[in-house]
Structure 1
Amino acid sequence: MDRRTLLKVTGVAGSTVGLSAVAGCLGGGGDGETDEITITLSEFPDTVDPIDHITGDYFDVFDHIYEPLFNVQPGEAPEGRVVEDWSHGDGSVEMSLRDDVQFHDGQDLTAEDVAFTLQRQIDAEFGPASSQVAGLGSIEGAEAVDETTVEFQYSGAAALAEYEFGNYARAMNAEWTREQGGEEDAIAGSSADIFNGTGPYEVVDFTPDTKIVLERFDDYWGDEAPFERVTFNSDTESNGRATAVETGSSDMSINVLPQDTQTINDNDGTEVRRVTSFRNIFCVMKNESEPFDSQEFRQAMNYAVDNQAIIDGSLSSFGSPMSQPSPPGVNGHNPDLEHYSQDIEQAEQLVEESGYAGVEIELTAPQGRYLNDAAVAERVADQIDQLENVSCEPNIVDFGVVSDANSAGMDNYEIPFFLIGWGVITGDTDYAVSGFFQEGGGVQTFRDEELDSAITESQGIDDPDEREQALQDINEMAREKAPWIFLHQQESIYGIRDDIEWEPREDENIWVWEMNP
């Protein structure tokens, strides 16, 4: 089955694009008055390995260096970029790569590089375990067919495989990566030389945990990127990010708080741009740790929380309550599910039924990673603490602590209850549920055979309508089993210089090649 036939069968829009169309995505070619841009993130990458993470801020940096193989719009079929064309066989997809793509060290990109990079993500024998495996649940392997042809093997539906490899396929130079120790140990370093991708920008200056400076890669195969120089830095304090834009020390800041929007809009030369993202904010309850092993207790935690009051109070009404793992607009979202409404009496009754009356719990949460995340967590903990038969205290920590607890999956219960966000960047429910609820999913935090089996079954359904219904049923099942306290869908709010042409994306990706200075 060729790709065009697949898209007719799956009902997904999109087609393979040629060089001129792909290259045209790279913006204005640097014709504007400004040739530099500084972008302030809320979290700076704590790794130099582009596949050793699953954090949005990290993708924002690394995607400029380690180029995606496809151009992706949420919920749509990928379009070729470094990959020129591809076709599906029986449980496999064969991809033809461009033959003019170079790494920053001058070596040519080969199919072996792509296959090696993917194997590193899904097979522990090819290097340290990668969190990105959470997005590659159906991909089983990869191999080079010849210099410019690579084959991915997958299980389940072809459309699901496209959602996955479209969003997670990158390429590292296999020979270079092995020299850095990437086949045995984590790649590490503190200089610009530790980066080597094929992207439109190469690293010229790097200060770990602080700043990374990129410049146009002269031998990039596509059109010239719109800025000569790009600097990424970070500020975990939201007011610091807003101030950076207002004072001109940064041209763009992410995760601006609602209370800072008016000041930025009133400031000369800056403005706020926003979009409702595919990011779901929730509180994980690992269900092999007491008291979260009780479904009644987990449901009680949902009934204890007043989501709308938190949105109104801590987020200035920027956001909407969530009822399930998938946000609206994502394939498989179930529009018939209502969010949990606060019901203190019901919550206390369920706690009694759970057998955990009188329990003391602690909610761990980050500060600065999501919109007013610490304030949201403190309100959640306070509302739970109002129950007569549960005590709850917040514990505000660095995001890395929460990220590690999430990545540890079901192997670590030191932090069983924590607030985190998950951006459903593929636009498909499988990405919202498989990593968290399936064995080997990458970030599993909930073990339930019925839910796991339902997800597995959905992954093999080719008919798009049948698959969508199966995903809606999974969302309904997840709401009932209450693996999380469902909180809200996050609003992405950016402060930006008003002369930069750019529209925020639902998947939260910040790609400079989509901007015009």
Structure 2
Amino acid sequence: MKKLGYLLLIILSLFAVACGKTKKESPNGNTVVIAQGAKPKSLDPHMYNEIPGLTVSRQFYNTLFNREKDGSITPELAESYKYNSDTELEVVLKKDVKFHDGTTLTADDVVYSFERMKDKPGASIMIAEIDRVEKVDDLTVKIILKQASSPLLFNLAHPITSIVSKAYEEAGNDLAVAPMGTGAYKLVSYGDGEKIEMESFKDYFAGAPKVAGITFKSIPEDTSRLAALEVGEVDIAYGMAPINAQTIEANENLDLISEPTTATEYITLNTEKAPFDNKDFRVAINYALDRQSIVDSIYLGKAVVARSVVNPNVFGFYDGLEQYTFNVEKAKELIEKSGVTEKSFSLYVNDSPVRVQAAQIIQANLREVGIDMKIEILEWGTYLSKTGEGDFQAYLGGWISGTSDADIVLYPLLDSKSIGFAGNRARYSNPEFDKEVEAARVVSDPEARKEHYKKAQIIAHEDSPLVALYNKNENIGINKRVKGFSYDPTTMHKLGSLEVE
């Protein structure tokens, strides 16, 4: 009988050890820790159209509308809406929506938010067609437009048009470091922005999150981000390099998400500065680049060569553009034709290892056609400031269509009204291009809009203020203990549905 007792004890002990291996306790408990590659420049949702900031700030805020995965628009803070005319949208707000400080959302907050957006470089471009917003009663507003706007509801679903608290900011609070909204999570600690802690908002109108909170960490080095994911220091790692995707897939404790986005990577050429004030020289850059080699060697197949600055997953994409092929002789001919004698320039790159590697291949390609390109690596905030101010010749970057509509690509990036921090860092100005893009903003027929976008993309393709490179996947590593992650191709993921087991 004793022997049987010992045998049972041994079996139970082995079972406990086995369970310990498969159910390793996370140091993060019921909090989910997320790492991304850059520190937010600001948590003010209206300030900058930059992904590291909006990825974090959208957890604190809500917009009037929401864009669903199928591209349809549904109410978020809005309870209902109707168009009284082509230029007047009436919105009724949900009742008893609470801000994190316990106050209730009213029409005054909505009116204040839109007035505030007009003065902010990021949001102003999104509401350019709005003349004014009027309060009807405590839960109703009218949005009066200067002219009809086809992309209006899509723009009002973008996190850069989040609704903020009038009383909170008027009390002197700085939304850049002390955000406070109606979102699923509320701020606990900002620090210096390297580690941003937030807790679940129990009074969230859509239902309190099931996790205690989330924490965002800035870990610029991709290998360090991977290591933190592997040891359980972080639960979710955004923006993983393709070369590390295999490591994530091979780890039994991790899952890999590798999905297409609405983004395009490109080189912006400052058309106001030599040598890129010369069209032939700009087009020559297109022929000099071996895009496929970048896709193959750096992205390992988790990207495709871009045909346009508009992503194929975005409404209005035109797939009939004649692709610029890798043609060294053609590039040399155009350089000769351009008459440019000072064949050198500096390329700004932010401190992303993948972008730096791509820049090195671009540098080698251009050397083959007699162009000396210097690579300058900048910290994220400096990179945004210098490019917004026009203090550059060229830079390597990308743009996410946060609304999945071509308007949010072509109007901010290339319309002359958007030059500077609003998005048109190429400082490109072409009246024919502006005419097509702005016409697409006011017509309601989808096919007519597509035709205007087609013409605009042809013009931009031929002028080459932007050198479209590739459409890459978003690679995300997730600890298997985390459930309920909802992937968003705009990469600005909402995290209110997270759970841990």
Same fold (TM over 0.5): yes
Query: 2:473 aligned to 458, 480, 491, which one?
Result: 491
Match status 1:176 vs 2:156: no
Shift of 1:260: 1.0
Aligned to 1:443: 423
SS at match of 2:150: helix
CA distance in 2, matches of 1:387, 1:170: 47
Query: 1:161 aligned to 141, 152, 160, which one?
Result: 152
Q: Is the Cα–Cα contact under 8 Å of residues 288 and 447 in structure 1 kept in the other structure?
A: no
CA distance in 1, matches of 2:331, 2:480: 47
1:208-259 Cα deviation digits (max 9, x unpaired): 2211111112222221212111111111111111111111000000111111
CA distance in 1, matches of 2:335, 2:127: 37
CA distance in 2, matches of 1:267, 1:255: 18
Aligned to 2:496: 513
What pairs up with 1:19-168 in 2 under 5 angstroms? 35-73=30-68, 76-88=71-83, 89-122=85-118, 124=119, 129-167=120-158, 168=160
Query: Which sections of structure 2, spanning at least 5 residues, go unmatched?
Result: 1-27
1:110-130 Cα deviation digits (max 9, x unpaired): 1111121122122x3xxxx33
Letter paired with 2:209: A
Shift of 1:416: 2.6
Aligned to 1:245: 229
What pairs up with 1:390-401 in 2 under 5 angstroms? 390-401=371-382
Q: 166-175 or 84-93: which moved more?
A: 166-175
1:166-208 Cα deviation digits (max 9, x unpaired): 22431111122122277xxxx555xxxx232111211112212
Shift of 1:34: 5.8
- For residues 188 and 484 of structure 1, do their structure 2 counterparts lie closer, same or farther at Cα, with a shift above 3 Å needed? closer
TM-score by length of 2: 0.88
- For residues 188 and 464 of structure 1, do their structure 2 counterparts lie closer, same or farther at Cα, with a shift above 3 Å needed? closer
Match status 1:378 vs 2:360: yes
CA distance in 2, matches of 1:417, 1:140: 35
CA distance in 2, matches of 1:334, 1:90: 27
Query: Which sections of structure 1, spanning at least 5 residues, go unmatched?
Result: 1-32
CA distance in 1, matches of 2:312, 2:67: 19
Counting matched residue pairs gives 465
- For residues 134 and 386 of structure 1, do their structure 2 counterparts lie closer, same or farther at Cα, with a shift above 3 Å needed? farther
Query: 1:215 aligned to 199, 210, 217, which one?
Result: 199
CA distance in 2, matches of 1:136, 1:281: 25
Match status 1:339 vs 2:319: no
1:283-342 Cα deviation digits (max 9, x unpaired): 101211111111111100111111001111222222111121211121111111243111
Shift of 1:132: 2.5
Q: Is the Cα–Cα contact under 8 Å of residues 117 and 161 in structure 2 kept in the other structure?
A: no
1:387-433 Cα deviation digits (max 9, x unpaired): 13x2211111112222223433xxx3x21310111001211111111
Match status 1:195 vs 2:179: yes
Percent identical residues:
23
Query: 1:415 aligned to 392, 396, 412, which one?
Result: 392
Aligned to 1:434: 411
CA distance in 1, matches of 2:404, 2:45: 22
Q: Is the Cα–Cα contact under 8 Å of residues 284 and 418 in structure 1 kept in the other structure?
A: yes
Q: Is the Cα–Cα contact under 8 Å of residues 114 and 170 in structure 1 kept in the other structure?
A: no
Q: Is the Cα–Cα contact under 8 Å of residues 34 and 227 in structure 1 kept in the other structure?
A: no
Aligned to 1:7: none
SS at match of 1:196: coil
Aligned to 2:384: 403
CA distance in 2, matches of 1:141, 1:252: 41
Q: Is the Cα–Cα contact under 8 Å of residues 266 and 466 in structure 2 kept in the other structure?
A: yes
CA distance in 2, matches of 1:428, 1:334: 12
Letter paired with 1:101: V
CA distance in 1, matches of 2:132, 2:155: 13
Letter paired with 1:314: I
Q: Which runs of 4 or more aligned residues in structure 1 lie more than 6 Å from their structure 2 counterparts after TM superposition?
A: none
Q: Is the Cα–Cα contact under 8 Å of residues 39 and 380 in structure 2 kept in the other structure?
A: no
Match status 1:316 vs 2:300: yes
Letter paired with 1:398: E
SS at match of 1:512: coil
CA distance in 2, matches of 1:358, 1:106: 61
Letter paired with 1:148: L
TM-score by length of 1: 0.86
Q: 243-252 or 430-439: which moved more?
A: 430-439
